[in-house]
Structure 1
Amino acid sequence: MLDSKYLRQDVEQTAARLAARGYELDVAKVTELEEQRKTLQVKTQELQSQRNASAKAIGQAKAKGEDAQPLLDAVANLGSELDATKKAQDEVLNAINDIALAIPNLPDESVPEGADEDDNVEILTWGTPKKYDFEVKDHVDVGQDLNGLDFEMGVKISGARFTVMRGQVARMHRALTQYMLDTHTDTNGYTEMYVPYLVNSASLYGTSQLPKFAGDLFHTLGLVNDDGEQQAGFSLIPTAEVPLTNSARDEIYEESDLPIRLTAHTPCFRSEA
């Protein structure tokens, strides 16, 4: 998620970097909203100053035994105007935040520009692609031939696009999981985490799953408390990236503590077309 403050302060540079990845930012709209925000912020500060001055004048008038009603009426009017101005300012800020939330990550200056994979630049290769003297089967075909993948059972238990692994395929899945975690932790120095599978909306916004991928997520309804009020719901994680990344949200680290290397194995709950 792009910081809306950065967007407001450097909209032209933001637009230029986004253009490099084929995203067109409405600079005119952002600029217009920023001007509105500044105007409303100044007006809010002026009204607050006037209200404070009037409150002081009311105290002085009462101390002198003077009629303070006109001042009280003026403060009431100022309060209503201030509330309306603050509301308008919040609406503008929300509009800017909505734009910022929809913006993809800004590519580094070193990233080559291109319309599709044909414009990719090969930087490094490792090993030599294997050549086989037989037809290579798709992993789904291999799994079904081994009676290790059962799509019909997945449909019966859950529905379309679900599958069940059994026997040696299930064991291989478990072994690969263990191998991945052991390699990351023992060889590469990562810290293994066991994380919740349900997260709040702030975590999803923090990793840009929301608002873009709202339709791909599985959401739960919040519980109803003793007062009959429905609490905020959760969403099932689409990837371990969400809880791992948000473990660092709102935290400040010493440079000497970086990089933070975390790893986890989780299911990935997402409904992809």
Structure 2
Amino acid sequence: MLQLNYIRDNRDTVIERLGVKNFKDLDLVDDIIALDEKRRKVQSESDAVAAEANSSAKQIGDLMRQGKKEEAEAVKSKSAGYKEQIRLLQEELETVEQELHDKLIQLPNLPHTSVPQGTTAEDNEVAFEHGTIPTLPEDALPHWELATKYGIIDFELGTKITGAGFPVYKSKGARLQRALINFFLDEAEKAGFKEVQVPNVVNEASAYATGQLPDKEGQMYHVTNDDLYLIPTAEVPITNIYRDSIVKEEDFPIKHCGYTPCFRREAGSYGAHVRGLNRLHQFDKVEIVQIVHPDKSYEVLEDMSQYVQSLLQKLELPYRVLRLCGGDMSFTSALTYDMETYSTAQKRWLEVSSVSNFETYQANRLKVRFKNTEGKMQLAHTLNGSALALPRIVATLLENNQTDRGIKIPSVLVPYTGFEWID
């Protein structure tokens, strides 16, 4: 959530940056500023009446001690309406504050000045490319056919048990999943991230705090009887560890990683581009999260991008890094890098990670603060990234490493899989 004082003091800048994100309801900014002025006016009136009431109470007490009962009763009669005035003003204040809050949460985060203009994924900037796209024979198979050929992923069985988008991993397919999870967690530990195991469901307050609600409500699985949400990413429970917390400046950077299954409804997703592992309703992912000093967050973002790239390099996958344009960014992000690997059999790039800096947007909702060197409370910055999401990693590993003998496992994974080939 944007900070109210920043909106008030930087109206034109806020409108200009929201335009980069293609946010249409720019009148909301002026509505918020007007409501804030009304809120302060009502608060001032309430404070003034309360001050008068306190003054009258003191005067009545003084008069009674002096034995001036009639004068005391006169003052009491005159001040009888103060309590009701305060009650009415407080009710008005609560109404205005709720309306202000409801409008504030409709504003997305402001994009960083480096975010390019654009409306769709086609407008994203390619910041970096690495590796050579392998040359496959003409009869190379897409991963869903390879999965069936080698009996490692059963899409039809998953549909039978649950529905489309819930595959069953078998034999070496299941071991490959476990190998990737353990590899990613071990690499994160080496990079200084402390592992946590968190719940796979969260309450409404947690989903709100990281920005999933109200923006992504339709994309989350909701357990209605308990009013809980299945997590779309481990970012939600991990970041919420620090909700309503005052952290110590000397503890920065706070670094966590965690493995969880992730659940996304992906409503409206259909077509060839979502076939096989390209888009699932349930998938595994290792997430990295950092809470840092505001002065360091963009340096940390670059470090996190380099870290994710190092994983792709160790897996020997060709990849590229995109700087997302304003129109393709998430509601909560200030700057996002996407990492994509090239699926040679499908002849297309597949997103496997997003690394984002949220600046104070999540921290303001979470109330994650620290006391700076001047002794003042200040909001921290939060960042997170996929390191990595498994489905499309598996898809490109299967497709790019297919040979006449079978599928060759990258050497870095062999100690985790216990096998060199899927054949």
Fold similarity call, TM over 0.5: yes
What is the total number of aligned residue pairs between the two structures?
Answer: 263
Q: Which moved more, 1:210-219 or 1:253-262?
A: 253-262
Equivalent of 2:44 in 36, 42, 45: 42
1:211 CA displacement:
0.8
Look up the match of 1:95. Answer: 99
Query: Is residue 2:195 matched to residue 1:197?
Result: no
> What does the per-residue CA deviation read over 1:155-183, in whole Å, with 9 as the maximum and x for residues that have no partner?
44334433322222111111111111111
Query: Is residue 2:250 matched to residue 1:246?
Result: no
> What does the per-residue CA deviation read over 1:48-91, in whole Å, with 9 as the maximum and x for residues that have no partner?
11221222233234432515555555545222221221222222
Relative to structure 1, the CA distance from residue 5 to residue 177 in structure 2 (aligned partners, 3 Å threshold; closer, same or farther) is same
Give the counterpart letter for 1:23 in structure 2: F
Relative to structure 1, the CA distance from residue 220 to residue 75 in structure 2 (aligned partners, 3 Å threshold; closer, same or farther) is farther
- TM-score w.r.t. length of structure 2: 0.56
1:129 CA displacement:
2.5
Q: Which moved more, 1:134-143 or 1:80-89?
A: 134-143
Query: Is residue 2:23 matched to residue 1:29?
Result: no
How far, CA to CA, are the matches of 1:59 and 1:222 in structure 2? 55
**Preserved contact between residue 185 and residue 191 of structure 1 (Cα < 8 Å):** yes
How far, CA to CA, are the matches of 1:133 and 1:90 in structure 2? 68
Give the counterpart letter for 1:215 in structure 2: G
Look up the match of 2:124. Answer: 120
Give the 5 Å matches for 1:141-220.
141-186=145-190, 188-220=191-223
Structure 2 gap segments, 5+ residues each: 268-423
1:242 CA displacement:
0.6
Q: Which moved more, 1:120-129 or 1:146-155?
A: 146-155
**Preserved contact between residue 207 and residue 245 of structure 1 (Cα < 8 Å):** yes
**Preserved contact between residue 7 and residue 33 of structure 2 (Cα < 8 Å):** no
Give the 5 Å matches for 1:78-93.
78-93=82-97
Give the counterpart letter for 2:237 in structure 1: P
1:143 CA displacement:
2.2
How far, CA to CA, are the matches of 1:80 and 1:144 in structure 2? 74
**Preserved contact between residue 154 and residue 164 of structure 1 (Cα < 8 Å):** yes
Q: Which moved more, 1:236-245 or 1:137-146?
A: 137-146
Look up the match of 1:17. Answer: 17
Structure 1 stretches of at least 4 aligned residues deviating more than 6 Å after TM superposition: none
1:116 CA displacement:
2.7
How far, CA to CA, are the matches of 1:118 and 1:218 in structure 2? 29
Look up the match of 1:226. Answer: none
Q: Which moved more, 1:207-216 or 1:30-39?
A: 30-39
SS at match of 1:102: coil
How far, CA to CA, are the matches of 1:256 and 1:135 in structure 2? 57
Give the counterpart letter for 2:229 in structure 1: S
Look up the match of 1:230. Answer: none
Query: Is residue 2:53 matched to residue 1:59?
Result: no
How far, CA to CA, are the matches of 1:190 and 1:153 in structure 2? 36
Q: Which moved more, 1:121-130 or 1:133-142?
A: 133-142
Query: Is residue 2:268 matched to residue 1:266?
Result: no
How far, CA to CA, are the matches of 2:110 and 2:40 in structure 1? 25
| Two-structure CA RMSD over aligned residues (Å) | 2.5
**Preserved contact between residue 4 and residue 96 of structure 1 (Cα < 8 Å):** no
> What does the per-residue CA deviation read over 1:4-41, in whole Å, with 9 as the maximum and x for residues that have no partner?
44334433322221111211332321222122112112
Give the counterpart letter for 1:7 in structure 2: I
**Preserved contact between residue 11 and residue 30 of structure 1 (Cα < 8 Å):** no
**Preserved contact between residue 32 and residue 104 of structure 2 (Cα < 8 Å):** no
How far, CA to CA, are the matches of 2:31 and 2:129 in structure 1? 43
Look up the match of 1:228. Answer: none
Relative to structure 1, the CA distance from residue 79 to residue 167 in structure 2 (aligned partners, 3 Å threshold; closer, same or farther) is same
Where is the helix percentage greater, Structure 1 or Structure 2? 1
1:122 CA displacement:
2.7
How far, CA to CA, are the matches of 1:205 and 1:11 in structure 2? 25
Look up the match of 2:110. Answer: 106
Give the counterpart letter for 1:190 in structure 2: F
How far, CA to CA, are the matches of 2:220 and 2:73 in structure 1? 57
How far, CA to CA, are the matches of 1:168 and 1:248 in structure 2? 38
How far, CA to CA, are the matches of 1:198 and 1:133 in structure 2? 44
Where is the strand percentage greater, Structure 1 or Structure 2? 2
Higher relative contact order structure (alpha carbons within 8 Å, sequence separation ≥ 6): 2
